[in-house]
Amino acid sequence: MAVSKKLIEEFRKIPTGTLSDAVDQLDQKGFMTGVVPVLEDVKMVGPAVTVRFDHIYRRDYDLAGGEHLLRAIDESEPGSVIVLGSEVKDLGTWGGLLSTASKAHGMAGAVLDQATRDIAEIRELSFPVFAGTVNPSSYVFRLRTVSLNEPIECGGVLVHPGDVVAGDDDGVVVVPAARAEEVLELALEMEGGEAKMVAALRKGRSIVQSLEEIGRI
């Protein structure tokens, strides 16, 4: 099920904290664990394009080792978010060249629970990258891509191609595409409650009393 661009724009207005709470209401986990923004003050929302890595070691390397990742950048619709999954977490699967190509192709961002590098380049590009860690390593000779647009796990969340992936200063949340409208409705309702709570607390009202009346924290 494809999520419309209009719906994507609506999700862009909502913080990840609220989206996480809304997905929780569906008895699902939407928030990624251990995946943090490389840049401050960024907002990223778009449909997931998924790539999975597998372990390999060899002395010779060619483009086939990263074929699915390179295709994801070249072939995906503008506004998409590349999500990388791998059982190996400490190797760099993202960097400056991939960010440069992705931005030029109109991608919305990249999400991975592995390492990224080339932070200075990524900052200069202002390209949203959310990663598990930062180190100068490369996946070349060590990992290879094995799938494109198949379900993968990233940050403890199962991500399907087309799911809505949202990221901001608080981290990353995945919204199942099939329930995107339902999550958006819940999130908007929660944002309304949040605004009422903020207004009450700024007036010095008891947080306990406000919570009892409004029900949002």
Has residue 166 been placed in a domain? yes
Yes or no: say if 119 and 96 are a contact pair by the CB < 8 Å rule. no
Give the count of beta carbons closer than 10 Å to the beta carbon of residue 59.
5
Tokens 């190509």: give the residue: 101
CA angle 126, 48, 87 (to 5 degrees): 95
Yes or no: say if 115 and 91 are a contact pair by the CB < 8 Å rule. yes
- pTM to 2 decimal places: 0.90
Has residue 94 been placed in a domain? yes
Has residue 84 been placed in a domain? yes
Yes or no: say if 161 and 52 are a contact pair by the CB < 8 Å rule. no
Q: How many domains is the chain partitioned into structurally?
A: 1
Has residue 137 been placed in a domain? yes
Has residue 187 been placed in a domain? no
217 residues of the chain, pLDDT tens digit each: 689 999 999 999 999 999 999 999 999 999 999 999 999 999 999 999 999 999 876 666 665 578 999 999 999 999 999 999 999 999 999 999 999 999 999 999 999 999 999 999 999 999 999 999 999 999 888 898 999 999 999 999 999 999 999 999 999 999 999 999 999 999 998 887 666 767 766 777 666 676 666 655 5
Has residue 152 been placed in a domain? yes
Has residue 65 been placed in a domain? yes
- Return the pLDDT at 42: 93
Residue 79 belongs to a domain with what CATH number?
Answer: 3.50.30.40
**What are φ and ψ of residue 85, in 5° steps?**
-125, 140
CA 196, CA 129: separation in Å to the nearest integer? 33
Has residue 200 been placed in a domain? no
- Domain coverage including residue 129: 5-177
